[in-house]
Amino acid sequence: MNWQVFTELSTLQVQIHWMAAVISLVLGLSIFLRPKGNRLHRLTGRAYVFTLMVTAISAFFIRGPAGTVNSPAVNGAASLLSGFSWIHLLIPYTLISLFMAIRAIRQGRVKDHKSGMIYTYIGALIVAGAFTFLPGRHMHTLFFGDPVMIQESIEKGFRH
C-alpha cells in the first residue's frame, strides 16, 4: 500500500479508523498469544479496549460517498442515519460486546470475558476487516488497485 495515496484518498476519519483498527488487531493478537491474568495482560488489554473503542466510534463518522444511497444527503435531505451501510451495525455490536466482556472480568467471570473478547476480535476486526477489502471498497482500491484505477479514483474525488 502506498501511504501517500492512502492519505490523499482518505479523510481524517478513515485514517484514524484504519490506524486504530490495525493497532487493535496487533494488540488483540498479542493478548491471545501471551500469558493471561498478569500485569502486562491487563495493561495491553486496556490499550486494546481503548483502540477498539476508537475504531468503533470513528466508524460512526465514516459515511458513504456523495450521490450514493449511503450519501449523507440523499434526495437533498440529511438525516442522522444517512450515509450508513449495513457494516455500521458492527458499531453497537463492538461497543456492547466490549462492555459485556469488561463487566464479566470485573465480576470474576473469566470464561465469559475470554469468549466475549474472542468474539469481539473476530467480529469487529477479522470479519469487518475482511469486508473492507471487497471489490469496490476503499481499501480494496488502495491495496489491490492498479495505478490506472487509483488515478481514476483520485480524478473522481474518491475520498471516503
Distances from the Cα of 107 to the Cαs of 28, 100, 103, 112, 133, in angstroms?
21, 10, 6, 10, 38
Kindly indicate the confidence band of residue 91, based on its pLDDT and cuts at 50, 70 and 90: very high
- Parent domain of 58: 3-62+85-156
What average pLDDT does this structure show over 87-114?
Answer: 95
Q: What is the CA radius of gyration of the chain?
A: 18
14-42: per-residue pLDDT in tens? 889 999 999 999 999 999 999 999 999 99
Q: Is residue 74 part of a domain?
A: no
Altogether, the residues listed in the chain come to a count of 160
Q: Is residue 80 part of a domain?
A: no
Q: Is residue 72 part of a domain?
A: no
38-64: per-residue pLDDT in tens? 999 999 999 999 999 999 999 988 876
Number of domains in the chain: 1
Q: Is residue 76 part of a domain?
A: no
Helices 12-33 and 39-59 pack at an angle, to 10 degrees, of 150
The model's pTM is: 0.79
Q: Is residue 25 part of a domain?
A: yes
Q: What is the pLDDT of residue 158?
A: 55
28-37, 84-93, 137-146 — most confident range: 28-37
Q: What is the pLDDT of residue 142?
A: 75
The three three-digit cell numbers of residue 39, written as one number: 500485569
d(CA 100, CA 72): 31
Q: Is residue 55 part of a domain?
A: yes
Q: What is the pLDDT of residue 103?
A: 98
Residues 61 and 91 sit within 8 Å (Cβ to Cβ) = no
Q: Is residue 77 part of a domain?
A: no
Q: Is residue 78 part of a domain?
A: no
